[in-house]
Amino acid sequence: MEYRQLGHSGLRISALTLGTMTFGGRGGFSAVGATGIDGARRQVAMCLEAGVNLIDTADVYSGGLAEEITGEVIKGRRDTLLLSSKVRMAMGDGPNDAGLSRQHIIAGCEASLRRLGTDHIDIYHVHEWDGQTRLEETLSALNSLVSAGKVRYLAASNYAGWQLMKALAVADSHGFERFAAQQVYYSLEARDAEYELVPLAVDQGLGILVWSPLAGGLLSGKYRRNGSPESGTRQVSGTWNEPPVRTREKLYDTVEILVDIAGAHGASPAQVALAWLLGRPAVTSVIIGARTDEQLLDNLGGASLLLSADERAALDKVSAPELIYPYWHQLNTAADRLGPADLALLAQYLPGEE
């Protein structure tokens, strides 16, 4: 397993991270998975044996049950791994049971620590934007958790580019702890993160952790043009609506390239999709979660798959995002003075880069 530095921080994490959204199966999360303690214990053991050192969870996953299961299965080996969790989503019906107020952040962190059975969280994410709470209040509360030793590193998730850049500016101006990373949706099915979030990470030295790298299973190879995926999957049942698919024909074209490359390597399409992500700018770790041990074992193989430049170029081309304004204009008029952050998006469109 390769270990990568998390942005400009000193923390090193494995190229693959174990995600726990499948743990528990309470409420709407049953559409994603319902792994109990025994299954979770097996999956954690499999990941640790493969060299994974980070487990990612969130308070909202199965209403706290995923954190409880995680805490139970890591007993006796907390010192051998890193934990990531999140705060922001609604955890009750009260007026202060959601958001990024000082009240909810501190209460949420304390509750997560209890469920996880630990005295600190290694990477603590704000799970989503809160447009009704001043960033000064949010970042001050997070900074106090770092100062108290309850949190080691901070990260954001699902922020827009301007929101994340504003948060970094506020942290810098007040001397608060900065976000070391961001967790984003990024896959061959949807490369929207390349417009703003990936260039921002390159420019500001943030690590990127990727959620849903297989687009909810759409890049597993099971969903093909004129194919019939197995019944009971979340994409067929309609019980889970993330991520949305805007252009199904483009998805099918991408899957065909994945299948061809996988065949040449004796690998699975999922492994190829993961390997592609691990070669993208600023990506530190890709979060894998699985309903079954077999799926998890397959995903773990993606960390050791090496793609050729031609294979990467083929995947880049078939899945390339449309250049929206101002990027098409910058490509046409500013190509003589592009920096590393600009090139994270535009390099693939320059002559000779195909």
Q: How far apart are CA 36 and CA 161, in angstroms?
A: 37
Whether 61 is catalytic is: yes
pLDDT of residue 239: 55
**Tens digits of per-residue pLDDT, 288-323?**
999 999 999 999 999 999 999 999 999 999 999 999
**Tens digits of per-residue pLDDT, 165-222?**
999 999 999 999 999 999 999 999 999 999 999 999 999 999 999 999 999 999 999 9
Residue of 172, 175, 201 lying closest to 186 (CA atoms)? 201
**Tens digits of per-residue pLDDT, 10-26?**
999 999 999 999 999 99
Q: What is the mean pLDDT of the chain?
A: 94
Question: Is the predicted pLDDT of residue 227 greater than 90, yes or no?
Answer: no
pLDDT of residue 226: 81
Q: Is 213 within 8 Å of 287 (Cβ atoms)?
A: yes
Most distant pair of Cα atoms in the chain: their distance: 58
pTM of the model: 0.94
Q: Which of 3, 61, 186, 195 is catalytic?
A: 61
Question: Is the predicted pLDDT of residue 229 greater than 70, yes or no?
Answer: no
Residue of 199, 321, 307 lying closest to 254 (CA atoms)? 321
Residues 6+ apart with CB under 8 A from 197: 159, 161, 164, 182, 184, 208
Q: How far apart are CA 84 and CA 305, in angstroms?
A: 26
Q: Is 53 within 8 Å of 3 (Cβ atoms)?
A: yes
Burial class (CB in 10 A: 0-12, 13-18, 19+), 198: buried
Q: How far apart are CA 77 and CA 87, in angstroms?
A: 24
**Tens digits of per-residue pLDDT, 67-116?**
999 999 999 999 999 999 999 999 999 999 999 999 999 999 999 999 99
Percent of the chain that is helix, strand, coil (3-state, to 5): 45, 15, 40
**Tens digits of per-residue pLDDT, 232-285?**
555 544 555 667 888 889 999 999 999 999 999 999 999 999 999 999 999 999
Q: Is 186 within 8 Å of 215 (Cβ atoms)?
A: no
Return the H-helix or E-strand segment holding 285: strand 283-288
Residue of 308, 310, 312, 338 lying closest to 326 (CA atoms)? 338
Count other Cβ atoms within 10 Å, centred on residue 225: 11
